[in-house]
Amino acid sequence: MKGSTNTLSVFKGTLSVLKILTWAIFIILAFVLQANHFFAVRGINPNLILLMIFLGVILERKLFGFLFLIFTVILLSFVFLPFWPKGIFIAAGLGLAAFLLKKFLTGNVFFDSLIVIFLGTLGFYLIINFHYLISNPIAIIAELFYNMTLGISAIFLITNFFYEKEDRIKS
């Protein structure tokens, strides 16, 4: 980080009320849309919960803040998706691994988002259902494209509206 002009305006600090509120709204929205298959196009449903976790990987600088986000996701999964905890725990685990390894990324918000979403989506299906990964490559490619498009759009929106200036996230 180079100075105060490059710091985040909304995501500044570790646990400001505004930040908690913003994340809570985004996570609840992701759960509602995911549970209702809201963005499903021709049966391809983007993994919004995974996307939300990876946005946290990219945008959160402090481990404590990211753990809080993961905890919120797990807590809300008992409300919105109580029957499928496995997927949520896998997504949370992948997010945590990505957060701990993000120092090895490029430092560019957009490239890092694409890398993390690409590897994260593949990793998610590799763990949760390996058979699906090898038997439905077209569906996987479609979902990868969909996830990356939504992820990059969200990052673009956030960096344009909540950041004072696009900057490296790597701390």
Partner 1 sequence: MAKKYIIFFLLLAVLFLIFFYQKNIFFGLDKINLSSQALTDLRLENQGLRQEIKVLQDKLDLKSQPYLTARVYSRYPFDDNQTLIINIGSKDGVKVGWPVLAAENYLLGKIISVKADISEVRTIFSPDWKSEVKIGQGNLPGIEAVLAGGRQPTLELIPADAKINLGDEVISASPALPLGLFVGKISEITPEPAASLQQAKLRTDYDPNKLGKVFIISGYEGIN
Structure tokens at 137: 């490559």
Q: How far is CA 155 from CA 54, 84, 109, 134, 152, in A?
A: 11, 28, 8, 30, 5
Window of 11-19, 94-102, 105-113, 131-139 that interacts with partner 1 by CB under 8 A: 131-139
45 binds partner 1 (CB under 8 A): yes
Between CA 27 and CA 33 the distance in angstroms is: 10
One-letter amino acid for residue 88 of the chain: I
Q: Estimate to the nearest angstrom the gap between the alpha carbon of 80 and the chain centroid.
A: 17
40 binds partner 1 (CB under 8 A): yes
Between CA 95 and CA 31 the distance in angstroms is: 16
Which residue lies nearer to partner 1 by CB, 96 or 142? 142
7 binds partner 1 (CB under 8 A): no
Among 94, 51, 90, 49, CA closest to 72: 49
Between CA 162 and CA 11 the distance in angstroms is: 8
Which residue lies nearer to partner 1 by CB, 20 or 133? 133
Window of 10-18, 61-69, 95-103, 135-143 that interacts with partner 1 by CB under 8 A: 135-143
Site string for partner 1, 55-94 (x = CB under 8 A): --------------------------x-xx--x-------
136 binds partner 1 (CB under 8 A): yes
Structure tokens at 69: 């986000």
**Which residues are near partner 1 by CB under 8 A?**
34-35, 37-45, 47, 49, 81, 83-84, 87, 124-125, 128-129, 131-133, 135-136, 139, 143, 153, 156-157, 160-161
